[in-house]
A and B are shown apart, each in its own frame.
Chain A
Amino acid sequence: MTEPVIYQLGSPGREGVRLPKPDVPITPLPDELLRGELDLPEVSELQAVRHFVNLSQMNHAIDKGFYPLGSCTMKYNPKVNEDAARLPGFAHLHPLTDEDGVQGALALMYQLQEWLAEIAGFAASTLVPAAGAQGELSGILMIRAYHLSKGDTKRTKILVPNSAHGTNPATCTMAGYQVVELPSDANGNVDLAALRAACGDDVAGMMITVPSTLGLFDSQIIEIIHAVHACGGLMYMDGANMNSLLGIVKPGQLGFDVMHYNLHKTFSTPHGGGGPGCGAVACTQTLKPFLPGPIVEIVEEAPSVSANGAGAVNPLNDAPLYGLRMPPQSIGRLKAFWGNFGMHVRAYAYIRAYGTSLREVSRHAVLNANYVRVKLRDQYRLPYDRICAHEFVLEGRFEGVEGVHALDISKRLMDYGMHPPTNYFPLIVREALLIEPTETEDKATLDAFIEAMRKIADEARSDPALLRDAPHTMPIKRVDEVRAAKQLILCCRPVPDWAHQAAGD
């Protein structure tokens, strides 16, 4: 099954929309500034709709089947949250509307800031970062700004465990820091001796994922935090795995200084095929002045006496006046305007629905992961066979079976109608398969996955070619990635050779 490229579907002169005729006098266009023909498709509305529906059906998605992609938290995305983000008062709200006219939006953002601070045990938060990676950049730049504000210029290093997400070291480099990679010990924890040896007055801080990317709570986390603080460094928590911590432990109480959330993981804003997300950042009172902005603040307290009767569901009754303000020593802007507001609405709806029962999310995420883990341990090698958090890693290889890899298991899983786990991450595990079921999957779905994984283990021994040639039921077979990189076809339209044209003038 292939679907033609949209350009191949059109016919010259066909139009997909009808726009109104001008209701004002025509102003002559400035000929010398105009472009020639615009190379866009010429399709009908039905052609376009069919094309994109056909494309959609070539995807796997949470709405379609199990998606145990480790470190990505592919949980159900409630439909009502989509409706909420599309309410006209949100969808058609201009970001530069005067503050008096956006109090509903600001009340929502303020409340979400407060909730995110509360859930992680911090004093403040910002909703500006567009993704986890931007949250990381915020946090590390805040750490940098904090040290510089104290006149401390000698700190040039950030410590990062070797199990970290690739974004962590990349972020440090972007922020101008040198990365010191720390080894893990036999239990998958940070090697404490190596950490202590690396700590010194040139260390600006440490980035660490809790629970770790292996899906393990590091039982020495307090010692780690103390060691880094003792040398004057600050602690950054990568919150990618917050889905196991809601109501379980507050990073701020553990002693972390700053962290990011992924609202598109923990709080179920949809992944959208790779964004948009939101990498909200929470921090201590000490770091609050450095947050990227603007953030929502109360600029005028609410009147103290309630003027309104009870009963009405209106969070703006007796509300203070909110405003968008830059924190005093802010690291600056990370984005135009105020962040991915549409994601803020969805996350608000999600947290509001769960409220105090948010803890159930993490309890069941961890229950599901451990259930799958114990059901697979006799068929797959578990490099760290202990109680896990919301995800766990196993090795995609079998004793005595040559030439079957984690990739082959992944591809074969597609034939069972399931998305593969994250493969080849974390890098410190051979043939890693990182499995995260999430709390929204029921036992029957988990059992079907377990059954599929066990069958695949049998197939690996009885008919390894079945795995190596997988998938067999997808729209395409395995792709030639080398050819894609070598022959580099990134657009299907010819582009005029401007450079050559200019040289020929």
Chain B
Amino acid sequence: MSYIPHTDAERQQMLAAIGVPTIEDLFDAVPSAYRFPSLSLPEPVGELEVMAELQALAEANDHAGDFALFRGAGAYHHFIPSAVNHILLRGEFYTAYTPYQPEMSQGTLQAIFEFQSMIGALTGMEAANASHYDGATSLAEAVTVALDVGRRKRKKIILSPGIHPDYRAVARTYHQGQGIQFVGDQSPASVDDLAALLDEDTAMLAVAYPNFFGQIERFAGLAEKVHQVGALLVFVANPLALALFKSPGELGADIVVGEGQPLGIPLSFGGPYLGYFACREQYVRRIAGRIVGETVDQDGKRAYVMTLRPREQDIKRDKASSNICTNQGLMALAATVYLALMGKHGLRKAAELCYHKAHYAADQIYLLRGFSVDRSKPFFNEFVVRCPRPVAEINALLLERGIIGGYDLGKDYPHLSNHMLLCVTEMNTRYEIDSLVECLRDVK
């Protein structure tokens, strides 16, 4: 086997040193009736055949390299500078483990510290951790913090229906069996409707920014209302939108979570992505996940180390608030390199391109007979279109012309059947947008 380097001679030398005649003798402790079962697997093959097979599987998919993609709904096709992937492929980064030994992992540790700094800057928060699995689990972990801040006496979690449906589902999965009440998201609700649910039993209220429909809702006065009852205000934010719009910190958020995938991470059929988690400093000792802090070494030289470790499962065991141990280290690195390259000016420009192209598309579709565009609220790079026919039928027509159309909102929101969520990014050219509009014009 190419990945197992042993020669026959070496095997014999090693077995002799151990003092057993065969490798099989090393497994005597395994009950003999169950030892060495047959494995129904294919015959071994080499790199050449593996790659040929995977290429065939990959090419069987309708991907954004071959199609004009207008679908978002939580996963976005954005420009990624080449340098990001080249850095990710540094073996020193991707074949390292969690930086438990700081002297041997300053590279990973400093990169995470820079990630935390950039996430803090984007969200307007004082602290951030090294990441969670994805945006959905970040929200679930925010619930844990809010319950903890509410001393486990407050049992009510208010979720906006504008939060990604999967995220709300994951928060419920994580907190099943704990007597927690999730409210607010079972039917359409405005920010005021959500605020009306606040009471002394509320641990947190979470809103999306922009919401699942791409809209920027108005949050004036919300933070005061939430804080008045002693609850936490949580924002689920698209980090690319934060290059353009006011930071959640400025809007009074206590915790900001979200999906970091728009920051230099490919679509990859839904993962691996990057859950970011930022908060006000007063809550940092209650949050889960790895955190890197700056300190000095014995010679007084600046150094980084995983800190506040006593919160974590390997030390606190059954008293830990979460069982998380790995973060999404390499994805956090991708976002860090991406944000460094895009920088202060590039990120804003990318966000503006998304905004302008989405609004151009929306303006064109607005003019089409049979379609209407929801322009009741400002939006970023996604918008809702009411269609004259079921979304699946329209998408089938678009696909024939090389276009992957919008997301069918009727799947998650029964009152929005025949409504399509269209996404436009800097990757969509005017030609693609015009083609989309032309195709929709042909829908009868």
Contacts and interface: CB of A to CB of B under 8 A. Distances in A.
Interface stretch (B30-38, B182-190, B199-207): B30-38
B81 A335 contact: no
Contacts of B75: 94-96, 337
Most chain B Cβ neighbours within 10 Å, of A74, A132, A359: A359
Contact of A479 (B58, B79, B102): B102
B313 interface: yes
B298 A102 contact: no
A58 to B, nearest CB: 4
Contact of A42 (B37, B124, B345, B352): B345
A344 to B, nearest CB: 9
Contact of B272 (A174, A343, A487): A343
Contacts of B315: 166
A129 B441 CA distance: 42
Interface string A20-37: 101111110110011101
A215 to B, nearest CB: 11
Given A26-B356, A253-B37, A33 B245 contact: yes
Nearest to A338: B270
B430 A24 contact: yes
Interface string A352-364: 1111111111011
A75 B355 CA distance: 45
Contacts of A352: 42, 45, 50, 53
Contacts of A82: 89, 94
Contacts of B341: 16-17, 43, 45, 48
B307 interface: yes
A222 B29 CA distance: 12
Nearest to B274: A276
B127 A490 contact: yes
B5 A441 contact: yes
A337 B166 contact: yes
Interface string B85-109: 1110111111111110111111110
A490 B121 contact: no
Contacts of B31: 219, 221-222, 249, 254
A137 B352 CA distance: 41
Contact of A84 (B50, B61, B113): B50
Contact of A478 (B29, B280, B298, B395): B298
Contacts of A23: 429-430
Contacts of A343: 271-272
Interface in A318-361: 331-343, 345, 348-349, 351-361
A411 B95 contact: no
A360 B4 contact: yes
A81 to B, nearest CB: 9
B52 A60 contact: no
Q: How large is the interface on B (under 10, 10 to 19, 20 to 34, 35 or more residues)?
A: 35 or more
Contact of A498 (B20, B252, B345, B363): B252
Nearest to A3: B110
A351 B106 CA distance: 33
Contact of A39 (B29, B39, B121): B121
A63 interface: yes
Given A2-B302, A130-B137, A17 B124 contact: no
B55 A87 contact: yes
Nearest to B313: A170
B442 to A, nearest CB: 20
Most chain A Cβ neighbours within 10 Å, of B101, B108, B164, B329: B101
A483 interface: yes
Contact of B252 (A249, A331, A502): A502
Contact of B249 (A93, A100, A335, A498): A498
Contacts of B40: 118
A169 B18 CA distance: 36
B328 interface: yes
Contacts of A341: 268-272
B327 A93 contact: no
A108 B241 CA distance: 34
B181 interface: no
B91 A357 contact: no
B34 A253 contact: yes
Given A115-B41, A332-B173, A490-B284, A337 B271 contact: yes
Given A72-B97, A366-B23, A42 B249 contact: no
B328 A59 contact: no
A334 B43 contact: no
A478 B41 contact: no
Interface string B279-310: 01100100000111111111101111101110
A59 B337 contact: no
B177 interface: yes
A349 B57 contact: no
Contacts of A104: 56-61
Given A33-B378, A56-B92, A331-B176, A67 B97 contact: yes
A242 interface: no
Contacts of A75: 3
A38 B344 contact: yes
A495 B94 contact: no
A85 interface: yes
Nearest to B421: A96
A276 B303 contact: no
A357 B44 contact: yes
A84 B55 CA distance: 8
B174 interface: yes
Contacts of A367: 6, 11, 14-15, 18, 23, 26
A49 interface: yes
Given A29-B355, A335-B137, A59 B268 contact: no
Given A141-B176, A333-B173, A5 B117 contact: yes
A306 interface: no
B357 interface: yes
B177 A175 contact: yes
A90 B269 contact: yes
Nearest to B37: A250
26 contacts: A6-B114, A27-B356, A87-B58, A89-B57, A100-B62, A107-B60, A130-B133, A130-B272, A131-B326, A141-B173, A141-B176, A170-B320, A170-B322, A171-B323, A173-B319, A222-B31, A273-B111, A333-B136, A338-B269, A338-B270, A353-B50, A475-B106, A487-B293, A489-B295, A491-B117, A498-B249
4 cross-chain pairs, A with B, having the tightest CB-CB distances, nearest first: A337-B270, A63-B91, A89-B58, A272-B330
Given A19-B346, A40-B347, 5 more contacts: A17-B343, A55-B107, A170-B322, A249-B37, A274-B108
